[in-house]
Structure 1
Amino acid sequence: MNSATLMALAASCAVMATPLAALADYPEQDIRVVVPWGAGGGTDAIVRKLTLLAEAEMGGTMYVENIDGGISATGVNQVMRAEPDGHTIVALTYDSVVTIPWQEMLPGYDMDKLKLIARVTSEPDSVVINSGSKYQTLDALIAAAKDSPDTIRIAIQNIGGRVHLALLQLEQLSGTKFKTVSYPGGAGPQKEAILSGEAEGAVTSLGDFANLLEDDTVIGLAEFSSTANPTYPDVPLATDLGVDLQIGSFIVMAAPAGTPDDVVAKIEAAYQAAYDSAEFQEWVANVGVTPDWLGSADVTAWAEETQTELFGQMDALVEAGVLSK
């Protein structure tokens, strides 16, 4: 074998070895975990807890950055345009996967620009009310809304978002009309609205209001689920109260499309170890959130099925004149 052939072979081996060397060095820098909502909400707390536990598995520093705006579109769009090297990932929620694509809110926003890594939670929505309210049951709240339409102030997050859809469906199913008040930015502003007396109650997940439920500032009137919440078993299911409604959020970790499969696998393994840890499972059981793991092999198909089902529901509400697109 002559020297030219040897040099060519050596160069070829070096090229083939590069991805393995890159993976061996990963992570080469801090890993940025984008939460596309303001600090203080349920999504922020869950992702911070999981990321803190995952960091030990990754062998490098991971930090959470809150990028609020556009009902999560601002932060998610940044990750869609980030380098696909595993050093930027994002926590997607219902609005990231459903509301923004359905409303076509942002040009260039395309779920195909992301690689879904894993779903980590599922959270049914609920109706919570100030504990000092005279409406101590869902039946009482609905009856009052029927007697005085458009007067009882219920806090949602973003107009057209998930909890707005939940409230619209509750109104449609119960024949009521609430005074809908929007507080963009996640559950934090909803809490402030109830604490200040600006709103009588709110539609959100029980986990988002865990601290206010624990100190009896608010009570849960109903949860839109088919299974009782293990943390709050005394909160009735809407279906048991004659309102056949099931809706809620979730958290899905994702990376920019094109992120190498081996890097995605390492991120997934780190988060799964964090998810499976006794520390996380004990912690999550105390905040009213349902851990619900679905790995990279299945999460994309699940997300597509979820989109199809919910797009159909929202299109039907548009046709009925209940929702605008």
Structure 2
Amino acid sequence: MKIKKILLTTLISSTLTTAFAADFPSRDVRMVIPWGAGGGTDGIVRKLSVIAEKELGGTIYAENIEGGISAIGVMDLMSAKADGYTIGSLTYDSVVTIPWQNKLKRYDLSKLNFIARVTSEPDALIVDSSSKYKTYEDIITDAKAHPGKVKIGIQNIGSRLHLAVLQLEKKADVDFKIIAYPGGAAAQKEAILANEVDIVATSLGDFSGLLDDGKAHGVIEFSTQRNLTYTDVPTAYEKGIDLVMGSFIVLAVPKGTPKDIQEKLEGAYKTALESDEFQSWVKKIGVTPDWLGSDKTGAWVNETKDNLHIMMQDLVDQGILRK
């Protein structure tokens, strides 16, 4: 009798889940963006969501929940009901920095199911248009001739950009004078225009205004494929440097969200990303569409996080970074 009851309960539950998924969405879907309105992540996720609505057959509205370098918004996603009506976007800090700091016990990436990686935004080296450096080779030649003298501006000690520059130093056998600008890309722009530094390390998208105005130019991007917007900037791969580093956007739902609903969301965003509307739009902002489906995104997130944490621990061991 107990076995029949269990089987009946399972059958009813399965039937209700299937019916629920078939009816999804029956109300608006909330997209949590853990950064402020008007930023790069916000713009990309909003654009994708507007297009994805057409495929999904329902409204996706964005909610910006700032704070804690994305932790507040991501924890909101982690604690949301696993019914498909709350989805969220995560970036480098969400995946790497916050887990590394390990200060928030409720912050646990295993509480999420990753449904896709949608973009990559490789880091790059950028110089002022009046710089004596015209190419990547110019920089490396001068850095070899003057160890510790060529000034390169990053954003934060221990940041993704810091790791990228340290890797470049090792791979190219050079030594830069690294200067941190915690204010982000805006502070880097001021520094390069005021000649406080010779080079900055950040994404081409972050410097799109100066690049488009001809006030700066990229000399190398840490990627394997050329930027769709700034096609004249060579990649590290082309220069024989095995260095891929940059930010990204991944989409996730609370763990336990019905699989059929996850598949609907994934399909809607894949269609949106591949649409002519999005592909034409994204070419203008220096970001690369870089789709990875749910079957691979979770493993990619864990591998990325683990590899970078090893590098960061190495910096701690060297006394360069404090955890």
TM-score range, shorter chain: 0.7 to 0.9
Provide TM-score, normalisation by structure 2: 0.82
For residues 41 and 15 of structure 1, the distance between their equivalents in structure 2, rounded to whole angstroms, comes to: 42
For residues 316 and 155 of structure 1, the distance between their equivalents in structure 2, rounded to whole angstroms, comes to: 19
**Equivalence for 1:245:** 243
For residues 11 and 233 of structure 1, the distance between their equivalents in structure 2, rounded to whole angstroms, comes to: 58
Query: Which letter does structure 2 place at the counterpart of 1:175?
Result: D
Report if aligned partners of 1:137, 1:221 keep a CA contact under 8 Å in 2: yes
3-state DSSP of counterpart to 1:210: helix
Query: Which letter does structure 1 place at the counterpart of 2:298?
Result: T
For residues 62 and 51 of structure 2, the distance between their equivalents in structure 1, rounded to whole angstroms, comes to: 13
Q: Residue 105 of structure 2: which of 103, 107, 111 is its match?
A: 107
* Distance 1:309-1:148 versus aligned 2 partners, 3 A rule: closer
3-state DSSP of counterpart to 1:174: coil
Deviation, structure 1 residue 250: 1.7
Report if aligned partners of 2:99, 2:107 keep a CA contact under 8 Å in 1: yes
**Equivalence for 1:231:** 229
Report if aligned partners of 1:31, 1:86 keep a CA contact under 8 Å in 2: yes
3-state DSSP of counterpart to 2:177: coil
Report if aligned partners of 1:145, 1:176 keep a CA contact under 8 Å in 2: no
Q: Deviations over 1:287-317 (max 9, x none)?
A: 3222221111121122222223222222223
3-state DSSP of counterpart to 1:128: strand
* Distance 1:239-1:272 versus aligned 2 partners, 3 A rule: closer
Deviation, structure 1 residue 247: 1.2
* Distance 1:14-1:223 versus aligned 2 partners, 3 A rule: closer
3-state DSSP of counterpart to 1:178: strand
Report the count of equivalent residues.
313
Query: Which letter does structure 2 place at the counterpart of 1:18?
Result: L
Report if aligned partners of 2:152, 2:201 keep a CA contact under 8 Å in 1: no
**Equivalence for 1:323:** 321
Work out the percentage of aligned pairs sharing the same amino acid.
Answer: 50
Query: Which letter does structure 2 place at the counterpart of 1:289?
Result: V
**Equivalence for 1:5:** none
**Equivalence for 2:49:** 51
**Equivalence for 1:180:** 180
Provide TM-score, normalisation by structure 1: 0.82
For residues 11 and 240 of structure 1, the distance between their equivalents in structure 2, rounded to whole angstroms, comes to: 59
**Equivalence for 2:276:** 278
Give the root-mean-square deviation of aligned CA atoms: 3.2
Query: Which letter does structure 2 place at the counterpart of 1:235?
Result: V
Q: Residue 60 of structure 1: which of 46, 58, 61 is its match?
A: 58
For residues 73 and 145 of structure 1, the distance between their equivalents in structure 2, rounded to whole angstroms, comes to: 40
* Distance 1:314-1:98 versus aligned 2 partners, 3 A rule: same
Gaps of 5+ in 1: 1-8
Deviation, structure 1 residue 138: 4.7
My pick for the range that moved more, 217-226 or 235-244, is: 235-244
For residues 195 and 151 of structure 1, the distance between their equivalents in structure 2, rounded to whole angstroms, comes to: 13
For residues 180 and 13 of structure 2, the distance between their equivalents in structure 1, rounded to whole angstroms, comes to: 60
**Equivalence for 1:306:** 304
Gaps of 5+ in 2: 1-6
Q: Residue 19 of structure 1: which of 17, 20, 42 is its match?
A: 17
3-state DSSP of counterpart to 2:93: helix
Q: Deviations over 1:133-163 (max 9, x none)?
A: 565555666647986958947241x543322
Deviation, structure 1 residue 83: 1.4
For residues 294 and 141 of structure 1, the distance between their equivalents in structure 2, rounded to whole angstroms, comes to: 34
